[in-house]
Structure 1
Amino acid sequence: MDGVLIPTGFDPGSYSCVRSLSRRGIRTLVASQYDSVPAAGSRFCDEFVRIPAPNDDLLAYRDALLQLAARKDVTTILPLRPQDTYLFSLYESLFEEHVSLVTPPMETLRTVHDRVLLVEAAESAGVPVPETCLLSDVERVDRKLIVKSRYNLLASEYLDSYSERESATAKAVSHYRPGDEFDRESLTEEMGHDPIVQEYIPSSDEYVFGALYDHGQAVATFQHRQIRGDSYTGGGGVYRKSVDIPELERVGRQILDSIEYHGLACIEYMRHEETDEFVLTEINPRLWQSLPCAVRGGADFPWYYWLLATGQSDMIDPHYEVGVGSHLLYGEFGHLRSVFTDDSPIVSRPSARGAVWEIVQSCYDDPHFDNLRFDDPRPFVRGLGHVLKKGK
């Protein structure tokens, strides 16, 4: 039987991959450094294998993937982790000996991973982006600003200070008001490089544009509005609803068309509350956290990826249902916790009572949950256990 390798940690989207592909008769092989990942607990998971952690030793992780890819029952590998697409692109010749992948070439991936290059590409394509520069080029804080990592993934191809075996992600985002002072040494040390400074975009809403591209041509796209994130200050979506906005479709395709993209892409946009423009903030070249919302709405990207990787793209039906909402339930608890623990000088903190009411009301109105399936409860139980353990 043809099979798919799904390397994952506690990524919310991995369960959607296992469930989707198994129900289509594809053997699912989940691989992780953790024994208790939610996807491996699913009745739709055919096999689980322990592998090294990518953050511990990137080459050992690569070699483990290659060893599994060499199996006769593995046809392709889904990119769920930040390191996956990087390895598939950098070591394309090694992987293509065994499996068929849909991944951008290294030159394109560099543009996507380096937010300075991404801003330049977006500006050339006519796509709105925040004003962006390096921290070392900013003298003072004269308006609302944010500081974040220059790179989507920290690795040796981008930073000389990293060896081939090292990789990391720097997710911290710092907010500043006019008159604040940068702690440059602390920020640079935390990020491991000279980070970027971007203007703060006052937004009415946040959106995701998901896409699968085949050598510069869109095969399937999807949009959702993010109603709540990991934190009240932003972050990955924990409650979202599918939408279909022509202008978002236009700017989403425009940037990917301009760089002749190939593979999966998740683009984050903020809708400027004054200009109504969709402002691009970043691209993740892999399957995304809020993937379950897309799959529930009919945009089955794990299946689309399989079809494209196996030369069956003519079977892809890219249509999806608008107005479908989905919650990452334990992510909602994380959002509520952020009301008490997170702090931002430029994003107003909601009231705890108001946050609780909004979550309860939306769960009642839209009772669809990413990993909570009554015909397959173990993934949700495992995920909840991980969140509770991490919160201790």
Structure 2
Amino acid sequence: MASGVVILGGAHGTLALARSLGAINVPVFLVSNDTPLPGWSRHVSGKFLWSGPDAPDAVSCLLGLAADHNLRGCLLVAGGDGEVRMVSQSLDVLSTFYRVALPPWDCLRWVCEKPLLYQRAAELGLAVPKTYAFGSAEEASRSDIRFPVVLKPNMGGGNSRLARAKVVRADDMGAFLAAYEDAVDDIGARNVVVQQLIPGGGESQFSYAALWHEGKPVAEFTARRSRQYPVDFGYTSTFVEVVDCPQAVAASRRLLSSIRHHGLVEIEFKHDARDGTLKLLDVNPRPWSWFGLASAAGVDLGATLWSMTNGIGVETRTAQMGTAWMYLARDMVAAARLAVRGQLSFGAYVRSFSAVKAWATFAPNDLMPSLLDLPLTVWRVLTRRVLK
């Protein structure tokens, strides 16, 4: 049996995973060069700083931690996009010291790198938003683009301006060229994805959340990201509720089976009212921001991951419909924006609280992260966006 769990990076999803594991008395160790938020949980037994997943010595650092701090045999979980890539690319070496629940990179890159993801989706007959491929800003300026569009990095993670923003919207050619040229200067044309923006906000966004074992689902459920911030395309979810979405399950199973997925995963879709299709947006093979909804809904993916890794039988459970998760501080901003637009009444907002069984940071038996979340968020915005 693994001696504990080492989580690399992450924020709210990592915090929820640590709480899930702590509830069954599994030792949790955090290794991070980013937000310290998860490390303030009482369920984290040890915290280690490192240079991050992109550092040349990332792998040797993890091997050294295992040797120096008796972590050999622990389950290693990547909590961020950069960490996912590094661990998957170094699977053979890291597996000599850790247990790892991820596929090798030659399989996983087909869902992590967006151009490959959309290529695989087309091969499998899955719908995706209209995506444009440009080799330069000059080529883009001559193209017939249907606005609005969004610009996204080829893969999450990293410290580029586009990676920090996650999504940049452009409503006309002038705004698009300015954003595109800036992104190309920052990370190169091949790393910039340009895609039509599907109309609708969080009410149109659905997710498939699951744990897979060697190409087959162990536990799964679907949810709707009913509110998000910003409200048109979410930098982060703010109010997520369990719903039944068979289309998302079918599409996700087809995609994940094609790479023999192994481990945690969340897949994002958006319903396009123009043609009635559910279109694939993104894949996150790591703990996601609303990961805490799983245990609140009765499908504890963290505890199930531990059982699966250690060969313990897993009982099939069904998620409780209507159970919700909320990121209160940001949801208040999102709700205010929707109210100004006339898309959310005060009564409906108040009633939504009755479904909330999990919070982004608050837990009655683990208060410190909720007390520090707002100051840490303000600090990150100041240092990463305003001052920089």
Q: Describe the superposition over 1:182-203 as per-residue Cα deviations: whole angstroms up to 9, x where unpaired.
A: 2342231244333222222224
Q: Which amino acid aligns with 1:41?
A: W
Runs of 4+ in 1 over 6 A off after TM superposition: 352-356
Mapped contact 2:80–2:157 kept (Cα < 8 A): no
| Structure 1 unaligned regions, length at least 5 | 156-161, 340-348
SS at match of 2:221: strand
TM-score by length of 2: 0.84
User: Which of residues 132, 157, 167 is equivalent to 1:173?
Assistant: 167
SS at match of 2:239: strand
Q: Given the superposition, is the C-alpha separation of residues 178 and 384 from structure 1 closer, same or farther in structure 2, using an over 3 Å criterion?
A: closer
User: Which of residues 179, 186, 190 is equivalent to 2:182?
Assistant: 186
Q: Kindly, what percent of the aligned residue pairs are identical?
A: 21
Across the two proteins, how many residue pairs are aligned to each other? 368
Shift of 1:316: 4.5
Q: Given the superposition, is the C-alpha separation of residues 191 and 362 from structure 1 closer, same or farther in structure 2, using an over 3 Å criterion?
A: farther
CA distance in 1, matches of 2:379, 2:161: 25
Q: Given the superposition, is the C-alpha separation of residues 94 and 251 from structure 1 closer, same or farther in structure 2, using an over 3 Å criterion?
A: same
Shift of 1:66: 2.4
Mapped contact 1:336–1:352 kept (Cα < 8 A): no
SS at match of 1:282: strand
Which residue is equivalent to 1:344? none
Which residue is equivalent to 2:7? 6
CA distance in 2, matches of 1:358, 1:187: 41
Which residue is equivalent to 2:369? 379
Matches within 5 A, 1:265-344: 265-312=265-312, 314-333=313-332, 335=334, 339=337
Shift of 1:244: 2.1
SS at match of 1:244: coil
Q: Describe the superposition over 1:101-140 as per-residue Cα deviations: whole angstroms up to 9, x where unpaired.
A: 1111111222122211111111111111112231336433
Mapped contact 2:121–2:128 kept (Cα < 8 A): yes
Q: Which amino acid aligns with 1:149?
A: K
Q: Describe the superposition over 1:334-356 as per-residue Cα deviations: whole angstroms up to 9, x where unpaired.
A: 5369x5xxxxxxxxx76178769
Shift of 1:176: 3.4
Which residue is equivalent to 1:23? 23
SS at match of 1:234: coil
Mapped contact 1:127–1:280 kept (Cα < 8 A): yes
Mapped contact 2:149–2:170 kept (Cα < 8 A): yes
SS at match of 2:204: strand
CA distance in 2, matches of 1:94, 1:210: 28
CA distance in 2, matches of 1:89, 1:268: 21
Shift of 1:252: 1.6
Which residue is equivalent to 1:228? 227
CA distance in 1, matches of 2:274, 2:162: 36
Mapped contact 2:59–2:94 kept (Cα < 8 A): no
Which residue is equivalent to 1:64? 61
Which residue is equivalent to 2:155? 152
SS at match of 2:99: coil
More displaced stretch, 256-265 vs 134-143: 134-143
Q: Describe the superposition over 1:315-337 as per-residue Cα deviations: whole angstroms up to 9, x where unpaired.
A: 25343211100101233255369
Q: Which amino acid aligns with 2:163?
A: T
Shift of 1:239: 0.6
CA distance in 2, matches of 1:386, 1:126: 43
TM-score by length of 1: 0.83
Shift of 1:301: 1.7
Q: Which has the higher helix share?
A: 2
Q: Given the superposition, is the C-alpha separation of residues 153 and 58 from structure 1 closer, same or farther in structure 2, using an over 3 Å criterion?
A: farther
CA distance in 2, matches of 1:318, 1:69: 34
SS at match of 1:16: helix
Q: Describe the superposition over 1:262-290 as per-residue Cα deviations: whole angstroms up to 9, x where unpaired.
A: 22221100011133321101111211111
Q: Which amino acid aligns with 1:169?
A: A
Q: Which amino acid aligns with 2:188?
A: G
Which residue is equivalent to 1:40? 39
CA distance in 2, matches of 1:42, 1:255: 35
Which residue is equivalent to 2:355? 366
SS at match of 1:182: helix
Which residue is equivalent to 2:346? 357
Mapped contact 2:152–2:162 kept (Cα < 8 A): no
Q: Describe the superposition over 1:11-63 as per-residue Cα deviations: whole angstroms up to 9, x where unpaired.
A: 111221111111212111122236x7232222222222233334xx5233433
CA distance in 1, matches of 2:157, 2:238: 25
Q: Given the superposition, is the C-alpha separation of residues 248 and 331 from structure 1 closer, same or farther in structure 2, using an over 3 Å criterion?
A: same
Q: Given the superposition, is the C-alpha separation of residues 367 and 287 from structure 1 closer, same or farther in structure 2, using an over 3 Å criterion?
A: closer
Q: Describe the superposition over 1:162-190 as per-residue Cα deviations: whole angstroms up to 9, x where unpaired.
A: 9xxx9993544233346655234223124
Q: Which amino acid aligns with 2:129?
A: P
Task: State yes or no: 1:218 paired with 2:217.
Answer: yes
CA distance in 1, matches of 2:149, 2:212: 31
Q: Which amino acid aligns with 1:200?
A: L
SS at match of 1:149: strand
Mapped contact 2:133–2:193 kept (Cα < 8 A): yes
